[in-house]
Structure 1
Amino acid sequence: MKYKSVFDIIGPVMVGPSSSHTAGAARIGRVARKLFGKQPTKAEITFYGSFAKTYKGHGSDVATVAGILDFDTDDLRLKDSLQIAKDLGMEIEIRTSELLTEHPNTSRICLSEGDATVEVVGVSIGGGKIEIIEINGFDFQLSFHAPTLMVLHRDRFGMIAAVAKVLTAHQINVGLMEVSRLVKGADALMAIEVDSPLSAEVLEEIRQIPHIKEVSLLSFS
């Protein structure tokens, strides 16, 4: 991960105590919430490595739940997030695992409501920065620092070109694109970082492309 300025190293405006264990944890939780698209009734959180050892002292648990509640890192409600979630009727399960992960500050979050679920694995890499490395089993390396278009589709020839054609027609510049699939010919997930938010019209055009199943735009600005 490249830092754009000295402020990325110092860390974000946040409720402390730690940019890695608090702000980063909150941002991973908020990405999971945005991907789920609504407030879940249940959140299962698993901490690994350093997160597992220090999450209580550094507030990684309350920070993650705050993110799931869609609170930003500087929201003063962060410290009360566990009680707020309980008052809203959200069931919270927090576990730790001794499984070795590539990065010590790793968390797995599963959000659900009825049959709807989303599972996200993220790492906090320092200074409040995060990377999402797995979404519903699809492997990625995403920061979500820019508006990110998520497109779930059947794995068919020409899908990338079809989505790119719509973006080109609307003069949308692409900063990064990743595509992940579990099995050849089954479902695939496309993630596209763009330089500006997309209008509802653009999103609807993409939804109308054959073999497209779901389209969403994640923006944290």
Structure 2
Amino acid sequence: MQFRSVFDIIGPIMVGPSSSHTAGAARIGLVARQLFQEQPAFVQFHLYGSFAKTHQGHGTDEALLGGVLGFDTSDQRLRTAPDYAAEAGMKWEFIEENEVVLHPNTVKIVMTTGSKTMEVTGISVGGGKVEIKELNGFDLNLSGNHPALLIVHEDRYGVIAEAAAALAERQINIGHMQVSRKEQGKEALMVIEVDHNIDAETLQKIEAADHVLQVTKIHE
């Protein structure tokens, strides 16, 4: 196994006590916040496996709330995230689920503001690393550790090629790419992780492409 840097070995700079239950939880919450693109009015955290059993003792509650508020893994405000959430007017609920899942550190975050709702399911795989496994019913594999684009589009010929060409034109290398759809010819989701941050001009070019419905940028 080849590590990208020393931080892949020792883990991220973080507020403890646990890289899996605290740093990982905060990162899942932060990616969910970036996907939602605003602070939600109400959040439900469905906790599975060890997250459900030990979330209070390991600070998972505070970490998830802090992530959704936009706090990074090293932000000391994670420790008192419920106070900040209440001050911001955000309501939340933690639900301990008994369902058996494939990974013990699993959370489904349901964010709502008005008529806008988004469901994000993530797992904490250790060392502060996470994977986002599902977004609004779409299966995906997003690490949250690299800049990425999530492109919701109509399932049409040429959309994927046009997005890839826009990145190639700016010499932005694709590290991982995944496409999923619920039904042929309907709505599809393209996930592209890249090596470098994506500039506004490239983002606008992809957003303006035919059959593209929504583009969300995830920061490293």
Q: TM-score range by the shorter chain?
A: over 0.9
Deviation of 1:195 (Å): 1.5
Could you say what secondary structure the match of 1:39 adopts?
coil
> What corresponds to 1:56 in structure 2?
56
Output the amino acid matched with 1:19: S
3-state SS of the aligned residue for 2:101?
coil
Aligned mates of 2:155, 2:33 — CA distance in 1: 26
Partner of 1:207: 207
Q: 2 CA distance for matches of 1:76 and 1:46?
A: 24
| Structure 1 match to 2:92 | 92
CA contact (8 A) 2:27 2:144 kept: no
Q: Output the TM-score relative to the length of structure 2.
A: 0.96
Counterpart CA distance in 1 for 2:152 and 2:196 is 20
Name the residue aligned to 1:188: 188
Instruction: Give the aligned CA root-mean-square deviation in angstroms.
Output: 1.4
Q: Residue type matched to 2:177 in 1? A: M
2 CA distance for matches of 1:83 and 1:48? 24
CA contact (8 A) 1:203 1:216 kept: no
Cα distance, 1:194 vs. partner?
1.2
| Structure 1 stretches of 4+ moved >4 Å | none
Structure 1 position 169 matched with structure 2 position 176:
no
Alpha-carbon shift at residue 7 of structure 1 (Å): 3.5
Alignment of 1:54-203 (within 5 A): 54-203=54-203
8 A Cα contact 1:66 1:81, kept in partner = yes
Identity of aligned residues (%): 51
Q: How many residues align?
A: 220
Q: Following the alignment from structure 2 to structure 1, what is the Cα–Cα distance between the partners of residues 23 and 141?
A: 19
Q: Which structure 2 segments of 5+ residues have no match?
A: none
Q: SS of the residue aligned with 1:77? A: helix
Give deviations 1:104-159, integer Å, cap 9, x for gaps. 00000011110112211000000000011001111011102111011110011121
Residue ranges of structure 1 left out of the alignment (5+ in a row): none
Contact 2:111 2:118 in 1 (8 A): yes
Distance in 2 between the 1:182 and 1:3 partners?
35
